Amino acid sequence: MSPAPVDDPPRGHIIPIGGAEDRHDDRTILRAIVELAGGSDARIAILPTASRMKDTGARYVEVFDELGVADAVALPLAERSDGEREGYVRELERATAIFLTGGDQLRLSTILGGTTVFKTIRRRNAEGVHVAGTSAGAAIVPEHMLAGGGSGPTPRFTLAQLAPGLGLTNRIVVDQHFSERDRLGRLLTAISLNPFLIGLGIDEDTAAFIGPDDVLEVVGSGAVTVVDPSEIVHNSVAEARTGDPVSMLGLRVHLLAAGARYDLVDRMASTA
């Protein structure tokens, strides 16, 4: 699956969030999403599919309403048949931003994968609508979704499980709750399986705002760890057995705090 064309018009921002974003005080990340989506004219469509909690959608509607949007609506897609409902598709067509909540990313992929709703989100992003996802919603944003795995600092064969994602970009793989849950090892494992990918490890209350020019800017209170395998000279994953540590030589790692940028095309980092 390749990302949709973005030449004319430019695609909307892609915004993976590391989870546990501030929803009560400054709400820096959510406020930035609202501003991108049109401020008081913003129309936010919220997909709480990843969550098993019945009030997840309603809680985000309340937050976005408090931020002054024109409209916020939760689309409770709970079964695959919901992904074909015309009413939900119409709401996505009206939206200026689409927000995927946290929970279990496999619920998102198995319930929505291949449905009209999934295809509509991809098309709307290509048309300029911004798509944000927090926690599980962040993991599913790229073509390659980190579906699960263990913790720890060392990459080990089978530590990471990958599955097809939404496919808004094929340049990255995203891990969330990154430093809080000690997930460096599984992100490195995912990269070892396909060294084309740039790894983004996103801390809680932190987001990577990826613009249509494929330059990301960090927003929030934590950091984004960028792992670039473009200069890798050795990778032992093909010889590893279950549980074995994986050797990778030549990785480049950047730690980006708020305001820092990273060009996903040129693979260059810069500070604010």
Encode pLDDT of 148-191 as tens digits.
Answer: 999 999 999 999 999 999 999 999 999 999 999 999 999 999 99
pLDDT at 2: 45
Sorted by where each begins, the domain ranges of the chain are 14-270
Average of pLDDT values for 121-142? 98
CA-closest candidate to residue 14, choices 228, 266, 213? 213
**How many helical (H) and strand (E) elements, i.e. helices and strands, does the chain have?**
7, 17
Active site residue 180: no
Average of pLDDT values for 232-251? 96
CA distance 2 to 234: 27
The pTM of the full predicted model, rounded to 2 decimals, is 0.96
Active site residue 130: no
DSSP H/E element including 175? strand 172-175
CA distance 190 to 194: 7
Contact 264, 180 (CB under 8 A): no
Amino acid at 241: R
Q: What token pair was written down for 138?
A: 């962040």
**258: Cβ contacts below 8 Å, ≥ 6 apart:** 206, 218, 219, 220, 221, 272
Name the one residue in this structure whose structure tokens are 């689409």: 98
State how beta strands 43-47 and 71-74 pair: parallel
55-104 pLDDT, tens digit per residue, is 999 999 999 999 999 999 999 999 999 999 999 999 999 999 999 999 99
Active-site entry in 135, 143, 192, 217: 135
Question: 14-270 sits in which CATH class?
Answer: alpha beta
Active site residue 93: no
Backbone angles phi, psi at 165, to 5 degrees: -110, -160
